[in-house]
Structure 1
Amino acid sequence: MEQPDLRSLLDAVVPFSADLDLTGVLHRITRAACELVGARYGALGVLGPDVHHLSGFYTYGLSEEERQRLGAPPTGRGVLGLLIRDPRPLRLRDLGEHSESAGFPAHHPVMRSFLGVPIRLRQHVFGNLYLTEKIDGSDFTADDEALVVSLAAAAAVAIDNARLYERSQTRQRWSVAASELAQSFLESDDEEASLELLVHQVLEASSARAVAVVLSDAADRLEVRAACTLDDAGVGAVDLRGSLLLGPFWTDALHARQPLLHVPGGASDARALPAIDARRLLDLDAASPVAVVPLAAGPAPLGLLLTGWGPGEELVAEDTLPDQVAFALQAGVALTAARSHVDRATIALLEDRERIARDMHDNVVQRLFATGLSLQSTTPLAQHPVVQARLNAAVAELDSAITEIRQAIFGLHAPQPSAALPARIAHIAQSYAVSLGFTPEVTVEGAWPDTLAPPLRADVEAVVREGLANVARHAHASSARVRVSVGRGVDVEVVDDGVGIDGHQARSGLVNLGARAEAAGGRLSLEPGAHGGTRLHWHVPAPASDDRSSG
């Protein structure tokens, strides 16, 4: 290599370290390679996690208009794929004459001469440099190849430094996010708010397009508790809360407790089904990488974290996955600690009630009982009928007071259930008063609504919440009523006086309510109301063990 060539190479590689932004480094490498050997066009193709296709493609020499006309970037077919399969320098006089050539798409510039060189990071290939069409019309030479091979070696160092810097910055963001999340879980009584914070943190730290967190309930079902997405309008919530993830493959993913990254073109066997279904749930392109990461702390799995990126972002997904796994572990610990804190507070409350009940029994009740016996023994000694009557009345009052105190003591001993179902339904209705402009009317009928199993109670609450959400968003109603009836089955009705059903508008929440009903052997119907508006009716049969209507 002659002295001028060495100076040119040095001039080309020095700007690589101008800053450590990885995307900027890749663009500078592509431009420097073209300028070093006088190529009109250049590209740097980044290999995806499976090292069999290109997940990123950085070009030089094409205008933005030309790139737009060419459509999606290449993924590694033809001669480009040859360099992926056999990562050695390759020089060609005419691309079109090679047996592996796959031709060019419409609107593609003329490209004949070709020089391809792999970029190696330690023991693996990071990607390939592709150069075409020397400006002077000649072919690429052996000296050109040697220069670009040397440049690729320097480029590998610059890329490695940029990735290390980017990774350190990313880990710092993840660390800060984990601290903020733990503080939110432990200091706030609102678990939903902390879960919303979780999905927004993951979206930002992982540079993802969509994130959802799903948690397991008492029946081992997975339910979406929070979700958000990134689009042209910015970060926003997604209407997925309450969606159930059904299928044995989801149960397997929950208990396997192993992270899964699925990229386009990857396997589609049973283990990949959760990621494929997550892509559908998050409404992502078929070419989007998706990760399914467990949320766990201790022996019991808590749920899953679903993350999706944009097409061609396999490398971003692969780089962020280890940090996301570590973050999910810390989030699981924080969630478990927060729930344990609530349990400890409940235990402390019950212990305090036990102490109060014991003191009332040992002191108050016994003293009242002794006073009553004393008065009762005094009654025969009283000569005046009025005095006897008053003594008997006082003894009766003491007996009544003792009975009431013992009932209160029994109530203190009894375990305290969560809020009664009628109160929960009324609270949900009240929470929609602002968005509706009025408070819905609530009726809860049946003798045993609070004996419903926890999963069925959760379903009823989810139906009421989604029904009122639809009224708020779509109905333009002036009134609405909610009716929950528990008999031989469970019926939930949400009726409004709004504009009626819009059959052309897809509402994913209603699909989820239908899935809940079908999972319990029931059904969901949506129909015009008797006096206008819309009537939502959700029905499931009562479990055999809970059927209290007989006897």
Structure 2
Amino acid sequence: MTDEAADAGPCGAAPAAAPAPAPEKPALSMLLEAVLSIGSDLELRTMLQQIVDTATALTGARYGALGVLDPERGTIGELYTSGLDETEWQRIGRFPDGYSGMSGALTDEPEPSRRDGLAAGPRTGGVPPGRPPARSFLGTPIRVHGQVFGNLCLTEKHTGGFTDSDTAVLGALASQAGIAIANARLYAAARQRERWIEGAAAVTTALLTGGSAADALMTVAERARTLADACAGVILQPNEEGGMEIVTASTLDDPAGIVGTAIAPGSEVLVQLLGGEPVFIEDSATDPRMTTHVRSRFGPSMMLPLQSGGRLIGTLALPRRRGDRPYTAVDRLLATQFASQAALALVLADARHDREQLAVYEDRDRIARDLHDLVVQRLFATEMMLESTRRRAAAPDTDELLGRAVDELDSTIQEVRTAIFALQQPPAEAPTTFRGRVLRETAGAAAVLGFQPSVHFTGAVDTLVREPVDRQLLAALRGALATAHRRAGVSAIEVSVDATAGLPDGRAAVRLTVADDGREEDGSRSPTVTWQAPL
């Protein structure tokens, strides 16, 4: 066996047991059967293992190895072996480097090579300790579209040394294997592109059918993780400090400690990402450009800007576990295209959400205008008519009845005005603090009043005012604003919320005060509304 095969380690294919001796058949017949068998399977890894097993059987070799060259790094990226038992496999060690020893010779001078006694070869350096014996060697490169795809090496022929017939058989097999590998690679690339296209379409459909912004980011991260065969899909977005922070993480393992991790401002990786450039990492744990504490979990990684129309939404990161196979050029291209389409889908989904929200606002404004212009005005006119009738009525019973009707209409008008103010509030993303809700109520009233009421807070209102007092105070505020709106000449309203007020018995209380500059029907100044409740 060559030093390259001897230097090899596992590459995802378990060591195969020594093949049984080939049946007594003519060599040409066996070769034709092997060629037909190899070309019948389009799954590349299965085909590669089949090639090395078939070559070992056809030539009567004890050991076989097929090293697949990584075109970007010039080293052996995958290794498939035949004839090794578990003990021998454990002793093999690292992968061959692909440019030294017999494997390097086959790559540099891509012609079949046959040797007896590797220790005598100038490039072999002998058989490393702990490796299976390699007293006879036969090897040939496998070409795909004129480029060396990998090296097929056989050692230890059962009947002595390899022959010219073995060399011819191996050369013919390697030639046909190159054609079959080319077809399998085309098929695999087509299937891979199809999966990424289907994934991008699914993400776009999911984003445009609704959902929150957080759900949209998780959809992108989870689908990308699955398509890239990564151990995590991570979304980073710019933070206030000028760096980038992980806001979403889809992982197969425990995601604890990942969300919230930030890339510091000024780092080399951040500069590239903010400039819209993708970043490709061979090993996140050792790359000096990676500075986050979670980098030790990961190996190969892609960091792809989510950018559309010059707008940077964030970054999609797809790390694999340490020791996993690196990303290929095709992986990088397809993932980059996916990120571009996902960014566009996020922008479209955000625009759709804004349009829907705007439509809701416009509809609420229309309802509020209709209530104000039609319902309230008619109710107010009816109230005036009843009030005038009550003053002219002589019977006490009639006067009392009309008085109650006037009061009911007045109460109805106030409730309708309160509903109008409520319609002016944003329907979504309501503030969670009490201070924010008070400001939200006054901002909604401003749309009807035509001016912004002034608001003053005293004390820690957000901490002290809790349920159910906060709901009662907001209801009182809405009623006071509605009442102020119906008065003539109102041009200013002052709202005060005091969380340090006290009751006569010494208990802490919150006091709401609403004052305006309007006038009552008799010309007197409008009264100040005061509402108070214990905390």
The amino acid of 1:43's aligned partner reads A
Against the structure 1 CA distance between its residues 256 and 49, is the aligned structure 2 distance closer, same or farther, given a 3 Å change threshold? farther
In 2, the alpha carbon distance for the partners of 1:183 and 1:73 equals 44
Deviation at 1:260, TM superposition (A): 4.2
Q: 1:218 to 1:355 in 2, by over 3 A?
A: farther
2:80 to 58, 74, 84: 58
Return the match for 2:132 from 109, 124, 130. 109
1:57/1:74 contact within 8 Å kept? no
**Pairing 1:210–2:231 present:** yes
Determine the structure 2 residue equivalent to 1:305. Answer: 316
1:96 maps to which of 109, 119, 122: 119
Contact 2:233–2:317 under 8 Å retained in 1: yes
Cα 1:52–1:128 shift into 2, 3 Å: same
Residue identity matched to 1:255: L
| Mapped pair 1:228 → 2:238 | no
Judged with a 3 Å threshold, the aligned counterparts in structure 2 of structure 1 residues 372 and 265 are, in CA distance, closer, same or farther, namely: closer
Q: Which moved more, 1:45-54 or 1:335-344?
A: 335-344
Q: Tell me the TM-score normalised to structure 1 length.
A: 0.61
> What is the CA–CA distance in structure 1 between the aligned matches of 2:293 and 2:39, rounded to whole Å?
37
- C-alpha distance in 1, partners of 2:296/2:220? 16
Say whether 1:283 aligns with 2:294: no
Which structure would you say has the larger Rg?
2
Q: CA RMSD in A?
A: 4.3
Q: Deviations over 1:474-512 (max 9, x none)?
A: xxxxxxxxxxxxxxxxxxxxxxxxxxxxxxxxxxxxxxx
Q: 1:390 to 1:104 in 2, by over 3 A?
A: farther
Query: In structure 2, how many angstroms separate the alpha carbons of the residues matched to 1:281 and 1:389?
Result: 81
- Cα displacement (A) at 1:350: 0.4
Alignment match, 2:271: 252
User: Which residue of 301, 323, 327 corresponds with 2:338?
Assistant: 327
Residue of structure 1 in register with 2:432 after alignment: 421
Q: Out of 91, 95, 117, which is 1:69 matched to?
A: 91
Task: Tell me, in whole angstroms, the C-alpha distance in 1 between the residues paired with 2:284 and 2:306.
Answer: 27
> Aligned equivalents of 1:282 and 1:291: distance in 2?
15
CA contact (8 A) 1:45 1:55 kept: yes
> How far apart are 1:291 and its partner, in Å?
2.2
Query: Structure 2 counterpart of 1:10, which letter?
Result: L
CA contact (8 A) 1:119 1:125 kept: yes
Offset of residue 282 of structure 1: 7.5
Distance apart, 1:66 and its partner CA: 1.6
Partner Cα separation in structure 2 for residue 318 and residue 376 of structure 1:
85
Q: Provide, for residues 198-249 of structure 1, a one-character-per-residue CA deviation record: whole Å limited to 9, x for no partner.
A: 545444443x2402130426747332413222xxxxxx56335623331344
The 8 Å contact of residues 295 and 331 in structure 1, kept in 2 or not, is answered as: yes
Kept in 2, the 8 Å contact 1:77–1:102? The answer is: no
Q: Say if 2:307 and 2:314, in contact at 8 Å, map to a contact too.
A: yes
Q: Kindly indicate whether the alpha-carbon contact (under 8 Å) linking 1:83 and 1:116 is maintained by their aligned counterparts in 2.
A: no
Distance 1:190 1:344, change over 3 A: same
Distance 1:279 1:120 in 2: 43
Distance 1:267 1:122, change over 3 A: farther
**Given the alignment, which residue of 64, 79, 90 partners 2:101?**
79
Q: 2:364 aligns with which of 325, 334, 353?
A: 353
Secondary structure at 1:289 match in 2 = strand
CA contact (8 A) 2:107 2:148 kept: no
Letter in 2 for 1:283: R
Q: Which amino acid aligns with 1:110?
A: P
Identity of aligned residues (%): 34
Once the two structures are superposed, residues 25-49 of structure 1 have per-residue CA deviations (whole angstroms, 9 ceiling, x without a partner) of 1011112223343332221111224
Q: Per the alignment, in what secondary structure is the counterpart of residue 160 of structure 2?
A: coil
Normalized against structure 2, the TM-score is what?
Answer: 0.63
Of residues 334-343 and 373-382 in structure 1, the stretch that sits farther from structure 2 once superposed is 373-382
SS in 1 for 2:297: coil
Where do 5+ consecutive residues of structure 2 fail to align?
Answer: 1-25, 435-458, 464-535
* Partners of 2:230 and 2:319 within 8 A in 1: yes
Q: Cα distance 1:224–1:415, how it changes in 2: closer, same or farther (>3 A)? A: closer
SS in 2 for 1:131: strand
Does the CA contact (< 8 Å) of 1:53 and 1:76 recur in 2?
yes
Q: 2:139 is paired with a residue of what secondary structure?
A: strand
1:57: how far off? 0.6
> 2:320 and 2:75 mapped to 1: Cα distance?
17
Question: Any conservation in 1 of the 2:140–2:153 contact (CA below 8 Å)?
Answer: yes
Q: 1:373-432: CA deviations, max 9, x gaps? A: 667888987899999999999989978876775565455345456143359xxxxxxxxx
Q: 1:329 to 1:446 in 2, by over 3 A?
A: farther
For the 8 Å contact 2:142–2:152, the answer to whether it is kept is yes
Aligned length: 410
In the TM superposition, residue 103 of structure 1 has moved relative to its aligned partner by 5.9
Structure 1 residue 11 displacement after superposition:
4.0
Structure 2 counterpart of 1:213, which letter?
V
Could you tell me whether the CA contact under 8 Å between 2:233 and 2:319 is conserved in 1?
Answer: no
1:164 is aligned to 186
**Which amino acid is 1:96 matched to?**
A
Q: Map 1:114-193 to 2 at 5 A.
A: 114-138=137-161, 140=162, 144-187=166-209, 189=211, 192=214
Give the CA deviation at 1:333.
3.6
Q: Which has the higher helix share?
A: 1
Could you tell me which runs of 5 or more consecutive residues in structure 1 were left unpaired when the two chains were aligned.
230-235, 424-444, 450-551
Match of 1:17 among 21, 25, 39: 39
User: What is the CA distance between 1:159 and its match in structure 2?
Assistant: 0.8
Q: Distance between the aligned counterparts of 2:315 and 2:125, measured in 1?
A: 42
Which residue type is aligned with residue 211 of structure 1?
A
Cα distance per residue 1:305-353 (max 9 Å; x no partner): 3223456754764443333334334433443333333222211110111
Q: CA deviation at 1:71?
A: 3.6
Q: Which amino acid aligns with 2:233?
A: A
Letter in 2 for 1:361: H
Query: In 1, Cα distance between the equivalents of 2:109 and 2:32?
Result: 25
Question: Structure 1: how far apart are the matches of 2:166 and 2:61?
Answer: 10
- Tell me which residue corresponds to 1:502: none
Matches of 2:47 and 2:293, distance apart in 1:
31
